[in-house]
Amino acid sequence: MDVSRRAFFKTGIAGAVGITVFGFDAQPLLAQAGSLEISRSTETRSTCPYCAVGCGIIIHTLGDKSGNVKPAIFHIEGDADHPTNRGALCSKGITLKQDVVNDRRITSVKYRAPGSEQWEDKSWDFAIDRIAHLLKQARDERFITTDTQGHTVNALTSVGIIGGCTDTNEINYLLVKAFRAGLGIVPMEQQARI
Amino acid sequence: MTNGWTDIANADVVLAMGGNPAENHPVGFRFVMEAKRNRNAKLVVVDPRYQRTAAVSDKFVQIRAGTDIAFLGGLINYALTHNRIQEDYVKLYTNATFLVKEGYAFDEKTGLFSGWNQDKKSYTDKSTWAYDIDAKTNFARVDETMQDPRCVLQIMKKFYARYTPAMVSSICGCTPEDFEKTAEIITSTYLPNKVGTILYALGWTHHSFSVQLIHAAAMLQLLLGNIGMPGGGLNALRGHSNIQGGTDCGMAYHNIPGYIAIQKADQSTFDDYLTAVRPKPLRPGVMNFMANYDRFVVSQYKAYYGKNATKENDFGFHLHPKLPVGAAPGTYQNWSWAYMFDHMYEGQMDGLFSFGMNPVSNGPHTRKAIAALGRLKWLVVAENFETETAAFWTAKVQWLNGGKPQDVKTEVFLLPAANFAEKDGSFTNSARWIAWKYKAIDPPGDAKPDQEIIARIFLKVRELYEKEGGQYPDPVKALNWWYTSPNKPALEEVAKEINGWAITDVMDEKDPKVVAVKAGDQLGKFLDARADGSTLSGNWLYIGSYTQAGNLTQRRNGSDPSGLGRYSEWAFNWPANRRVMYNRCSADANGNPWDPTRADIKWNGTKWVGDVPDYKPDSPPEAGMGAFIMNPEGVARLFVPGQFVEGPWTEHYEPMESPVQNPLHPEGQSSNPAAKPFKTQWDALGKPGEYPIVATTYRLTEHFHYWTKNNPYNVQEQPEFFVEIPEELAAEKGIKSAQNVRVTSARGSIVGKAMVTKRIKPMTIAGKKVYQIGMPIHWGFFGVGEQQGEIANLVTHSVVDPNSFAPEYKGFLVKLEKA
């Protein structure tokens, strides 16, 4: 009989089939499960961000999603229900928690002025405003409306965008929509080329 | 992948070549082991190194990096000369029967095809690389007997006759006996009830001839009847979680979403463009599905420009940018990765946005990338961690080029971005499964999700255009930014737009009085899209992923009634939830499966049943529609007319840096005649006299690219850069394991620990003793531990394949010494 972990806890709560499933009395174990850390936690289904096998993962966060609790990741494991990885992860996947909860993460906007030897912390408003002005200036200076042969081009080639393979389809689409269809940027590339 | 991860378990023979799935896709590799365990499948590994996939193989052959085409050419020749091809399949589903145009020729002495211009050193006339077209019908002529000397099969036999076991041995460095034993196993799948799969990765795509390499593998699989079969196919094991989806969604300079070629500057009218992307059928009765691209282009414009895309303005054809024409007639500007960095170095660019990319490390030729970034006015990097690219201006990185931070005038922004766990949205894996993931927590500190970063920058620029005016503000203003939270679009809303919906009632094409899709409803299938402006869809390929039934990428039904690992109700599989592509080929002329135990689809008398058919669902077998519905000829291409720049057949050319002249034509063309090195001071190529050793780069199981050097566990597992050196070479140089060695190419040098190994053996190539060494990627200047410092791409060059523009990271020349 195939008992998923979710079913295991469910039957535990129902207090029913311990002996028939396991051949021994699992009631004490099931009762103990009620006080484990996992009982106050939330499971979120996600996908490993590394290679393209696309292993299903479960992210365990502390807290039950109530408003006054700030969730914190305490464990990431393979999703046993996923048909590809069936709960397994590789040596990278099992260390995923460190990719998220890591004191090397950048948590503030960093700015480096031309010729400067250091980063400075800046606000988002500063960065968005400055980047938008630089982008508009680049577009206004070198936007190609027509070429020397009289073709309509309406393209910007002096600004490039690289990225996307680490991010979702929706982000890729937004990049294409905003930067290519909106601003006319032609140089758009990602890891697939390299 | 034409097939999927779970489908690999259906194979009888697995060829892992140009990839090392046991180490780089370890969890997907379980299905290879299942095939071995449950079907007694044979695993064959052909690779420059004896790695962990090889360790569990039934047959391993070591070849020189960059000689895969010679090996595959040998397999094609073996199949053709030993009568080990699935002839009925080949006749039905490939262009083996097609006649090739008079004038096509290949010169075995020079290694060049007809149309070569010796003065210009390029192919100036590719008109003979074509089918023989009947001027009356405009269809290609065929010879069903496949005996005509100008038919594709006969030309192919002649072309590949040169790839004898002795020639393969001379080029690749394996013995003829090893080659023949391997060929016997691989071609055993020519029987209708035997199926083989090929698994490849960047070991095939990182060459100056990578597209032709994949072409060779496709030819082999077609000759053996393995395409379209469960357990078969040609399977690219992709290296990043959503590199497939990024490609699907148009993150490439040459495509818009859905693999539709981008608009070109010399396509003056919308009709010119549509004519270019909608080919005319080349055989009677074929589906020629690309004739529908007008629907998909118009629906995409409607998604972009909304009400501002009207019939009167060709739905915004001129709002969308066009690829500028190039310097030479008939060419277009190239803005692919390596070209972009070359143009950047030449001062043609002002700014660059990098979302999760690290070109200093992951691009070819690290020092050229650093120099190019230094010529930008500004750089914006959105990242989780500080990277070599974001910090390219620091002393830690600048010393590589002899520079100082004060001299770098680039203004740099490092924006803290949310990572995968901190936002929702879908990833498309290598098997084309689009799967939704959910947000678990908020990003740390001031970090923001990318949708917010993109939206805020775009909306701020739009605001500036509205206030100040400027160059061609029309598309900036016209863009349909309809999202409920404009500064932070919900990805559910974006997913709905990618699939698309009916803007007004969409009428049935057979009965215009009947409403096919109600206004406001999500589109359910490809042909719900219309070219009249009544539908919008951001990416036609993803139609069906978010229908009236909801977001199908969230499906989690793990049942598999097929017993073939199809899992049809798990997530959504583009296209159209089809799990095996080209599956019409899994059945014979009458619609009966070649192998009833592995039936992907079959004809039940009124329709095709099983997997979602890659075919018109109710077209009977006798109508002979052609199994390759995307091709205007209705069949797969062995001979490829006009599409690839170096010829209609795959010929072995040497890597750009090679220890030998091409043994196939030692007096003629050695490397790919269409591959052209860049011309900056950084783009030096080495000669074998000074740089005699072949080098290749690869990944390790314990690290992911350049990310996990920030994770203590991964760094403990693989702490530092090393160089894998054959025992014989180490003995010659007096090098012992764990000593420091220096690897130098014409581009630069790196120092790492020697790992002296039996896993790479010396080889004899064209009568000459040749060594090869291997180097893992993964390290850099920012990370935990003391290991940081060396980037493998300090020694690679940036010559690219002339079709895909992928750089040749594998099979280049170096010298080796004690450090």
Least confident of A13-27, A126-140, B15-29: A13-27
- Mean pLDDT confidence for A97-105: 96
Indicate which of B353, B381, B404 best probes the interface with A, i.e. most A CBs within 10 Å of its own CB.
B353
Contacts with A186 from chain B: Cβ below 8 Å:
253, 262, 321, 323-324, 333, 335
Q: From the CA of B462, how many Å to the nearest CA of chain A?
A: 9
For residues A87 and A113, membership in a common domain is answered with: no
Please give the domain boundaries of chain B with CATH numbers for all domains. 6-99+145-239 (3.40.228.10), 252-278+288-348+410-429+433-574 (no CATH), 693-818 (2.40.40.20)
CA distance B448 to B379: 18
Residues of chain B with Cβ-Cβ distance to A173 below 8 Å are 249-250, 257, 494, 497-498, 538-539
From the list B242, B440, B451, the residue facing A46 with the nearest CB is B440
The SS3 call for residue B69 is helix
Q: Do A164 and B349 touch (CB under 8 A)?
A: no
pLDDT at A166: 87
Local structure of residue A178 (DSSP, 8 states): I
* pLDDT average, residue stretch B127-156: 98
Q: Which amino acid is at A58?
A: I
| Contact partners, residue B584, CB within 8 Å, separation at least 6 | B93, B228, B601, B608, B613, B614, B615, B627, B629
Q: Are B385 and B781 in contact, with CB atoms under 8 Å apart? A: no
Judgement on whether residues A100 and A70 belong to the same structural domain of the protein? yes
Domain termination site, one of A59, A87, A105:
A105
Residues A111, A91 share a domain: no
DSSP E strand stretches across B1-75 = 13-17, 42-47, 59-62
Bridge-based pairing of strands B722-726 and B749-757 is parallel
Residues A149 and A160 in one domain: yes
Q: How far apart are CA A30 and CA B746, in angstroms?
A: 65
Provide the chain A residues 99-158 that lie in CB contact (below 8 A) with chain B.
99-100, 102, 104-117, 119, 124, 127-136, 138-145, 147, 149, 151-158
Say yes or no: A83 and A47 in one domain.
Answer: yes
Contacts of B275 (CB under 8 A, 6+ apart): none
Q: Give the span between the Cα atoms of B41 and A137, in whole angstroms.
A: 61
Model pLDDT, residue B647: 98
Task: Dump pLDDT digits (tens) for B178-213.
Answer: 999 999 999 999 999 999 999 999 999 999 999 999
B241 vs A51, A114, A172: nearest CB: A51
| Same domain (yes/no): A100, A126 | no
Contact B337/A189, CB-based, under 8 Å?
A: yes
Q: State whether A86 and A67 are in the same domain.
A: yes
Q: Is A61 an interface residue toward B (CB < 8 Å)?
A: yes
Q: Are A92 and A85 in contact (CB under 8 A)?
A: no
Same-domain status, A23 and A50: no
Residues of A in contact with B796 (CB under 8 A): none
Mutate: best of B413, B456, B562, partner A, most A CBs <10 A:
B413
Q: Structural domain of residue A69, as residue ranges?
A: 41-105
Does the distance separating the beta carbons of B406 and A117 come in below 8 Å? yes
Which tens digit of pLDDT belongs to each residue from B319-331?
999 999 999 888 9
Of A120, A136, A152, the domain-final residue: A136
CATH of the domain at A94: 2.20.25.90
**What pLDDT is stored for residue B59 in this prediction?**
98
Q: Which residues of B touch A73 (CB under 8 A)?
A: 421, 440-441
* pLDDT tens string B791-818: 999 999 999 999 999 999 999 999 999 9
A151 and A123 in a single domain? The answer is no
A6, A73, A174: which to substitute to probe chain B, counting the most B Cβ within 10 Å? A174
Instruction: Please report how many Cα atoms fall inside a 13 Å half-sphere around the Cα of residue B814, on the Cβ side.
Output: 33
- Tell me the per-residue pLDDT of B378-431, one tens digit each, with 9 for 90 and over: 999 999 999 999 999 999 999 999 999 999 999 999 999 999 999 999 999 999
Whether residue A191 and residue B246 make contact (CB cut-off 8 A), yes or no, is: yes
Task: Look at A84 and B323 and tell me if their CB atoms are within 8 Å.
Answer: no
Lowest mean pLDDT among A27-41, B53-67, B570-584, B672-686: A27-41
Q: Closest to B420 (Cβ–Cβ): which among A46, A98, A152?
A: A46
Is A81 in Cβ contact with B456 (below 8 Å)? no
Distances (CA, A) of B173 to B316, B402, B764: 56, 40, 5
Q: A19 pLDDT exceeds 90?
A: no
Question: Who among A139, A177, A191 is closest to B357 (CB)?
Answer: A191
Closest CA to B429 of B571, B251, B258: B571
Please state the domain count of chain A. Answer: 4
* Residue A189 CA, distance from chain mean position: 20
DSSP B233: S
How many angstroms away from the CA of B581 is the closest CA of chain A?
18
Q: Do B353 and A187 touch (CB under 8 A)?
A: no
B67: CB partners within 8 A, 6+ apart: B171, B172, B173, B652, B811
CA separation, residue B251 to residues A186, B341, B390, B477 (Å):
10, 17, 21, 22
CA distance B215 to chain A (A): 17
pLDDT of residue A16: 43
3-state secondary structure of B45: strand
User: Containing H/E element for B112?
Assistant: strand B112-113
**Residues A111 and A101 grouped into a single domain:** no
CA atoms within 13 A on the CB side of A46: 31
B contacts of A133 (beta carbons < 8 Å): 464
Mutation target to probe the B interface, by most B beta carbons within 10 A, among A142, A158, A162, A183 is A162
From B499's Cα to the closest Cα of chain A, the distance in A is 11
User: What is the β-pairing status of strands B13-17 and B42-47?
Assistant: parallel
- Could you say which of A58, A86, A105 is where a domain stops? A105
Put simply, the answer to whether A168 touches B239 (Cβ < 8 Å) is no
The DSSP letter of residue B574 is T
pLDDT at A32: 57
For residue A65, pLDDT beyond 90:
no
A162 with B28: Cβ contact below 8 A: no
Whether residues A148 and A173 share a domain: the answer is: yes
Measure CB to CB from residue B450 to each of A85, A171, A181 and give the nearest one.
A171
Average pLDDT in chain B: 97
Chain A residues with beta carbon closer than 8 angstroms to that of B412: 111-112
Q: For residue A76, which residues of chain B lie inside 8 Å, CB to CB?
A: 421
3-class SS shares of chain B: helix, strand, coil, % to 5: 30, 20, 50
Helix (H) or strand (E) holding A121: strand A120-122
Q: Which residues of B fall within a CB distance of 8 Å from A140?
A: 470-471
The answer to whether the beta carbons of residues B141 and B132 sit under 8 Å apart is yes
Query: Is the pLDDT score of B678 beyond 50?
Result: yes
What CA–CA distance (Å, rounded) separates B420 from B401? Answer: 34
What is the pLDDT, as a whole number, of residue B34? 98
At residue B711, the 3 state secondary structure works out as coil
- Asked if pLDDT for residue A2 goes beyond 80, the answer is no
Whether the predicted interface score ipTM is above 0.90: yes
**Other Cβ atoms closer than 10 A to B676:** 14
Give me the pLDDT at residue A66, please.
Answer: 73
Pairs of residues, one from chain A and one from chain B, whose beta carbons lie less than 8 Å apart: 495
Cβ(A141)–Cβ(B472) under 8 Å?
no
Element (H, E) at A162: strand A159-163
Euclidean distance between CA atoms B788 and B751, whole angstroms: 11
What single DSSP character describes residue B279? P
Do residues A125 and A154 share a domain? no
* Chain A: closest CA distance from residue B495 (Å): 6
Q: Which residues of chain B are within 8 Å of residue A63 when distances are taken between CB atoms?
A: none
Q: What is the pLDDT of residues B429-459, one digit of tens each?
A: 999 999 999 999 999 999 999 999 999 999 9
Smallest Cβ–Cβ distance between A192 and the set B247, B437, B708 belongs to B247
| Helix (H/G/I), strand (E/B), else coil: B345 | helix
> Helix and strand tally (H, E) in chain B?
22, 33
| Chain B: closest CA distance from residue A41 (Å) | 11
Nearest-5° Cα angle at B802, B798 to B808: 35
Give the chain B residue nearest A89 (alpha carbons): B27
Is A188–B336 a contact, with Cβ atoms under 8 angstroms apart?
A: no
Residue of B nearest to A111 (CA): B413
In a mutational test of the A interface, the residue from B437, B480, B540 whose CB has the highest number of chain A CBs within 10 Å is B437
Distance from CA of B589 to the nearest CA of A (A): 33
Partners of residue A162 on adjacent β-strands: A189, B354
pLDDT tens string B478-513? 999 999 999 999 999 999 999 999 999 999 999 999
B chain contacts of residue A89, beta-carbon cutoff 8 Å: 27
Per-residue model confidence (pLDDT) at position B790: 86
Distance (Å) from the alpha carbon of B633 to chain A's nearest alpha carbon? 28
Residue A26 clears pLDDT 70, i.e. is over it: no
Report chain B residues whose CB lies below 8 A from the CB of A148.
Answer: none
Percentage of chain B beyond pLDDT 70 is 100
Task: Please state, in angstroms and rounded to a whole number, the distance separating the CA atoms of residues B489 and B508.
Answer: 33
CA distance A21 to chain B (A): 22
- Tell me what pLDDT residue A164 has: 84
The nearest CA of chain B is from the CA of A152 a distance in Å of 6
Q: Could you tell me which residues come within 8 angstroms of residue A180 by beta carbon, excluding any fewer than 6 positions away?
A: A186, A188, B250, B256, B320, B321
Which residues of chain A from 14 to 33 reach within 8 Å of chain B, CB to CB?
none
- Res B700 pLDDT > 70: yes
